[in-house]
Amino acid sequence: MILAPSPTLFAHEERDLPGGLRVLLIHKPHLQRATISLYLRVGARHETRETSGLSHFLEHMLFRGTPSYPTCHAQALAFERLGGTLEALTSTDHGVLSVTLPTETLTAALNPLGEVVRSPLLSDIEIERGIVEEEIREDLDDHGRQINADILVRELLYPEHPLGFPVTGSLEQLHRYDVEALRNHHARHYTAANMVLAVAGNFPVDEAWNALTSAFTALPTGKRLDVTPAPPLPRSARFRYVASDSSQTDLRIAFRGPGEHHPDEPAIEMLLRILDDGMATRLYGRLCNDKGLCYDVSATVETYEDDGVFDLAAETQHERAPTVAREMLNLCRELAEHGPTQDELDIARARLAWSTRAMLDDPEQLASFYGLAALANVTLSPEVRCRELLAVTREQIRDAAAALFRPERLGVVAVGSLSRGLQRELEKLTRSFR
């Protein structure tokens, strides 16, 4: 029996600060902690070739002190004395700053967080540049070539487009950026029009609102930034092989999919759950349990404003790479032709309902859901989203899979040590996909 969550469990309040910042208050008094998460329109999607990686570098530089806490150490200590740790992430189409704290110290953290957002010192740029360089080098081989399969497959799907840029940028670009470039990027993106702030968990609402008003009202309003439209689909599938001295080949089977507002988006989410939501689902069951081809496999979906990526990933012995790719492509064909079984859909629905209710125990998940949904202007309540997904039918999943798993949407990347024969076999599999 599927027990969908009650709407009252996910009640929240939305307010706007005088400067225009949108604030979501998700008060859950049964919890022992609370999360503050600030979501921003920043990242590779909002960059050009000349500014690639600048959002990520700026994210790092935000940790280099504020007027009240003028060193990296002092700033970190300000949050850690309160029981939390300031964290940040830059993604393809958004960034986030967040901190989780005990109930009694959340309000005290709002002013330090406001300073990080409003007035970072951006000091010690050469020290932080060296740290970011180390991060970039993690994705390069000894010859400086890109070997991160996730980055490579997005470059393949979106050549010369911001959606295909690596979030970190390149070493060459990193060493061109100065404090002036960082300040200009900060002034453009860190504005109320490009942010959403979510506070979730157990916190004193009125006290927190007063502290939020003090900390964030001075943010410039700014202008909501537009993005470069996704490029047209190519005429055929694409394949790329990158040689790498490793013990396994890293495979990515990726399809360009619908965006956040496309009518197929709910069915694509359920398709993902059919393929990969546990060890009994199709992807792991076929490649690991039944055939023993991999230690682990996974599927993910990323949706952007007007496009998306549905990605299947596996690592396997080099000689098995064509077999693994064939099995993954066969799974895609089967779902496009027949859709899931009723039993698969029932299990996916039940796990969806359980995971939605579990969010009520996790302020980080609540803040993430509300913050991202508000930033993208999509479904704002987990309960409404859950019911939207529970209503998806087998036929809708089949039709969405048929529209998604098409050759012109396909990109395949292999990173490993493959003979010419194995390379040709993989490329033939890619080109012959129908």
Under DSSP, the state recorded for 146 is B
- Distant-in-sequence, close-in-space partners of 429: CB < 8 Å, separation ≥ 6: 322, 325, 326, 329, 412
Q: What are phi and psi of 97, to 5 degrees?
A: -120, 130
Cβ-contact 12, 211 below 8 angstroms: no
What domains are defined for the chain?
Answer: 7-216 (3.30.830.10), 238-431 (3.30.830.10)
Amino acid at 144: G
pLDDT value, residue 379: 86
Distance in angstroms (rounded) separating the CA atoms of residues 94 and 194: 10
The pLDDT tens digits for 326-380 are 999 999 999 999 999 999 999 999 999 999 999 999 999 999 999 999 999 998 8
Q: What is the pLDDT of residue 380?
A: 83
CA dist 168 → 88, 94, 162 (Å): 14, 13, 12
Rounded-to-integer distance, Cα 321 and Cα 226, Å: 40
Total Cβ atoms within 10 A of residue 387: 16
Hey, which residues does 300 pair with through a beta bridge? 311
Supply 426's token pair.
Answer: 């993989």
Check if the beta carbon of residue 125 is closer than 8 Å to that of residue 178: yes
Question: What order do you get walking across the sheet with 22-27 strand by strand?
Answer: 13-16, 22-27, 195-201, 33-40, 95-102, 87-90
* Per-residue pLDDT in tens (0 to 9) along the chain, 434 residues: 576 778 788 999 999 999 999 999 999 999 999 999 999 999 999 999 999 999 999 999 999 999 999 999 999 999 999 999 999 999 999 999 999 999 999 999 999 999 999 999 999 999 999 999 999 999 999 999 999 999 999 999 999 999 999 999 999 999 999 999 999 999 999 999 999 999 999 999 999 999 999 999 999 999 999 998 999 999 999 999 999 999 999 999 999 999 999 999 999 999 999 999 999 999 999 999 999 999 999 999 999 999 999 999 999 999 999 999 999 999 999 999 999 999 999 999 999 999 999 999 999 999 999 999 999 999 889 999 999 999 999 999 999 999 999 999 999 999 999 999 999 999 999 999 99
Q: Give pLDDT, residue 6.
A: 80
> What distance in Å separates the CA atoms of residue 162 and residue 158, rounded to the nearest whole number?
8
pLDDT at 3: 66
Contact 347, 377 (CB under 8 A): no
48: Cα separation from own chain's centroid: 20
Which secondary-structure segment (H or E) carries 173? helix 171-174
CA dist 44 and 59 (Å) reads 13
- The predicted pLDDT at position 9 comes to 86
94 CA to centre of own chain: 8
170 Cβ contact list (under 8 Å, min separation 6): 52, 53, 136
